[in-house]
A and B are shown apart, each in its own frame.
Chain A
Amino acid sequence: MIHAKNLAAALFAGILFGLGLSVAQMIDPAKVVNFLDIFGTWDPSLAFVMGGGLLVNAIATPLIMKRGSPVLAEFFRVPAKNQVDRRIVIGGVLFGAGWGIAGYCPGPMITSLSFIDGNILTIFLAYVVGTLGAKFGIAKYEDFKHQKHLANEACVG
């Protein structure tokens, strides 16, 4: 029963999110690129999308976290890590470049699959490949670091 409620909640949240992206017209890559084009034809609208989302969340998040636990789960699974590292910057640069080239970040890209369009399918498949490749790469790298750590310990021992 809890499981069904959980899935219903996730479905509701997904639909609301997809509707929000659509109403905000963030699903239109031309609008996104115009937002990013301050020195050309600038469309400041998307600053209001972020502002609206941030405002609601900045008020709601602390109130929700005060509860101690979520309604349908045992605990909040919010990233504990707060420090800035190299990954954040390298990832941000790569993602920003991709976002600027085509005007698609992951949310609007997935929501736009509803248009059943060849171009969207193309960028979506590339996004899947990129995600999978990076996940494998990171797993391999962590494994390598772990092995090196073990080897070092063996030498010391």
Chain B
Amino acid sequence: MEIINFTPLSATLGGALIGLSAAFLLLVKGRVAGISGIFGGIVYPEKGDVSWRVVFIAGLIIGGFLYQWLGTGVGVDHIEAVTGTPWLIAAGLLVGVGTTIGTGCTSGHGICGLARRSPRSLVATITFMATAFVTVYIVRHLVTGA
């Protein structure tokens, strides 16, 4: 094991902003800030419960723009995919199907669910984290042999 690019300060600060956003959404609207859940309700609309979701999702993208605009030259200024197009498609499909069947993703289960001490979210988080670790091990160390 070799530790690289460790950025604990920006990571904790970013995490705290995410936590504040989730707390704010719960306090004001009484909703859980699970991204796959919020987005899923747009793709497969629930009547009378769509507009706030669209606005929230637009906010995510605006947040990304703001970061690039404010933080020019700091942190992430461009994005490089870690794999080719066929794998990107496979990964996107898996993330869509998996989060829909599993009723949540990193935010909904990993942050909001765990904060409510939901056993369901704990099992979900352990399952997707463990699978992701194993997947990266297979891809990086068994298949490509790096």
Interface residues of A (CB under 8 A from B): 6-7, 9-31, 33-34, 36-58, 60-61, 64-65, 67, 69-73, 75-79, 81-85, 87-107, 109-115, 117, 119-120, 122-136, 138
| Cβ–Cβ contact B91 & A7, under 8 A | no
Cβ-defined partner of B64 (8 Å) among A111, A128, A132: A111
| Cβ–Cβ contact A14 & B5, under 8 A | no
Q: Classify the interface of chain A: helix, strand, loop or mixed.
A: helix
A-B contact pairs, 10 of them (CB 8 A): A9-B24, A10-B53, A37-B137, A45-B7, A71-B27, A72-B28, A79-B118, A98-B92, A101-B135, A133-B93
Complex-state Cα separation, A117 to B66, whole angstroms: 17
| Cβ–Cβ contact B127 & A88, under 8 A | yes
| Cβ–Cβ contact B127 & A89, under 8 A | yes
Nearest residue (CB) in A for B30 is A70
Nearest residue (CB) in A for B5 is A43
Complex-state Cα separation, A129 to B135, whole angstroms: 22
Interface residues of B in 68-87 (CB under 8 A from A): 68, 71, 75-76, 78-83, 85, 87
Contacts of B67 in A (CB 8 A): 18-19, 22-23, 114
A25-B76, A96-B130, A102-B88 known; A54 and B32 CB under 8 Å? no
A41-B2, A97-B94, A119-B88 known; A71 and B102 CB under 8 Å? no
A97-B94, A130-B94 known; A19 and B141 CB under 8 Å? no
Interface residues of B in 1-23 (CB under 8 A from A): 1-8, 10-23
Complex-state Cα separation, A14 to B16, whole angstroms: 14
A54-B19, A98-B92, A106-B36 known; A24 and B123 CB under 8 Å? no
| Cβ–Cβ contact A24 & B10, under 8 A | yes
Contacts of A129 in B (CB 8 A): 92-93, 96
| Cβ–Cβ contact B75 & A23, under 8 A | yes
